[in-house]
Structure 1
Amino acid sequence: MKPIIGITAHVELDWKHTLANDYIQAVICAGGIPLIIPAGIDADVDQIVDKIDGVVLSGGGDIDPTLFGEEPHQNLGSISPGRDSLEVAIIHRFLEKNKPILAICRGIQILNIAAGGDMFQDIYSQSESQLLQHAQKATRSHYSHYVNIEKNSLLESIAGQTEFKVNSFHHQAVRNVVSPFIVTARASDGVIEAIESTEHQFVLGVQWHPEPLALNEDHISKAIFQRFIEACQS
């Protein structure tokens, strides 16, 4: 039986759900059956979690900073409180049940926040370092900058190497990471690019977008989805 994989969707102004097709196709190509999870079903989250074998927390808009005790920064973009509350609820249930999570771009940020961590609302105005271009001006399948991977991490075991190139589409980023998560990848400017759990079978967050790269036959991106699907079958 193929595992059923829930994928959260972006919500525009609380009325229009959107999801890039490459999330769906990457799950299908890795051997899963994708199921799009809409916002607004918080009351039924336990039933949804019981029905799916894994979840992909997709990218999208910004996150409500009041979730981690801050007020909105002047460079904060559009937020979706309904999406935030649903994803936090799903994350809590998945961590409790030790079910696999693959968190992508916005997903890594909400994953860290749900665990008690926080984030930069805008890396360019809140970081003291000179940063790379993290919102690339190129197609989703273009490789923008390198990431450095921690040895002996889940991500290194998937990639088979400690440095590789990724795409980049974000102005927010994970800041303080709390247990059970650890930082397992950074860009050369220090921006956190991956976190993973030390207590769960497969809970991985990446700041880049492996889904278009996987469809472009990038072997590391394909391996991320394949290892995730394997974990969902165990």
Structure 2
Amino acid sequence: MPKDAPLRIGLSARLMHDPPAELGFRNKVLQYLEQQAAHWVMAHGAMAFMVPTLYKTSTVQRESVSVRDYVDALDGIILQGGADVAPESYGETALRPEWSGDRVRDLYEIELVWEFIIRGKPVLGICRGAQLINVALGGSLVQDIPSLLAGAIAHRDEALYDALHHPVQFLAGSRLAALYPGFESPLVSSIHHQSVKRLGNDLIVEAEGPDGVVEAIRWRGSSYVAGFQWHPEFHPRDPRLLDSSPVMQEFLDAAREARG
């Protein structure tokens, strides 16, 4: 592939295991890509490709194409938001049935994370994606912020959805602080009820909410791996929110460098 060819960025598929009957997919599983996530990539001159899961139910069903084939074809991966990470994926049981998460998607994305790391290609996690990175590297999660973290601010509001915002603080000396010089308390979107509890191996915290909830993490290893609890792909619609371009540009620069 020519070095100056557009970067090819994969986005892990969201899964809908039980689609509403009115969609016309009875007894089917849907895999889909959220539009703004793809447009965030495309707006910076890269091509966006959805990476479908290779799993069915709880067992691995290998077809003629493997995860490694996707990693070969792509320059980087973005893990989309969506359903909770299953507590089973970090050695716990769900404290409530509605927090049981999506184990099928977890297995698929954990394999993606490790294959991209092994190849030295960048990994970026959004919301659930940040939590998945933490779990893939051996960390754990708070299953429900409102009931388990005393004094926490609201991080999700069903009525407001992506209109819920709160400030974050970049940790001194972090890469995020360098990307956004002069930003003391930028506003970000917030659509989550789970968060990082125990940090995964070689991960560091780069941003926190006013209540101490982890808002951004980064791997200290040899390639780019970073996760953001907010949704930077939603930010271009609202000038009050933190500019999402520096984050995407850093990720794409890492992808270009990995391409060689």
Q: Give the counterpart of 1:72 among 94, 97, 101.
A: 94
In structure 2, C-alpha distance between the alignment counterparts of 1:17 and 1:146, rounded to whole Å? 33
Shift of 1:132: 0.8
1:106-117 alignment, distance < 5 Å: 106-117=128-139
TM-score, normalised with respect to structure 2: 0.83
Aligned to 2:175: 154
Aligned to 2:48: 34
1:200 aligns with 2:222: yes
Matched positions, count: 232
- RMSD, aligned α-carbons: 1.9
Q: Give the counterpart of 1:10 among 2, 11, 14.
A: 14
In structure 2, C-alpha distance between the alignment counterparts of 1:123 and 1:139, rounded to whole Å? 16
Task: Answer with 1 or 2: which has the greater Rg.
Answer: 2
Aligned to 2:24: none
The answer to which of 42-51 and 84-93 deviates more is: 42-51
Shift of 1:113: 0.3
Measured against aligned partners, the alpha-carbon deviations of 1:79-125 in whole angstroms (never above 9, x if no partner) come to: 32221111000111122222111100000111000000000111122
Shift of 1:191: 0.7
1:99 aligns with 2:113: no
Identity of aligned residues (%): 31
The answer to which of 212-221 and 96-105 deviates more is: 212-221
Segments of structure 1 that go 5 or more residues without pairing to the other structure are none
In structure 1, C-alpha distance between the alignment counterparts of 2:201 and 2:222, rounded to whole Å? 12
SS of aligned partner of 1:134: coil
Q: Give the counterpart of 1:227 among 214, 236, 250.
A: 250
Aligned to 1:176: 198
TM-score, normalised with respect to structure 1: 0.92
Shift of 1:162: 4.4
Q: 1:166 to 1:215 in 2, by over 3 A?
A: same
In structure 1, C-alpha distance between the alignment counterparts of 2:146 and 2:111, rounded to whole Å? 30
Shift of 1:78: 5.9
Contact 1:57 1:87 in 2 (8 A): yes
Shift of 1:216: 4.4
Contact 2:86 2:99 in 1 (8 A): no
Contact 2:94 2:100 in 1 (8 A): no
In structure 2, C-alpha distance between the alignment counterparts of 1:134 and 1:49, rounded to whole Å? 33
SS of aligned partner of 1:94: helix
Segments of structure 2 that go 5 or more residues without pairing to the other structure are 19-28
In structure 2, C-alpha distance between the alignment counterparts of 1:57 and 1:173, rounded to whole Å? 16
Contact 1:2 1:233 in 2 (8 A): no
Q: Residue 211 of structure 1 aligns to which amino acid in structure 2?
A: E
In structure 2, C-alpha distance between the alignment counterparts of 1:80 and 1:194, rounded to whole Å? 22
The answer to which of 21-30 and 219-228 deviates more is: 219-228
Aligned to 2:21: none
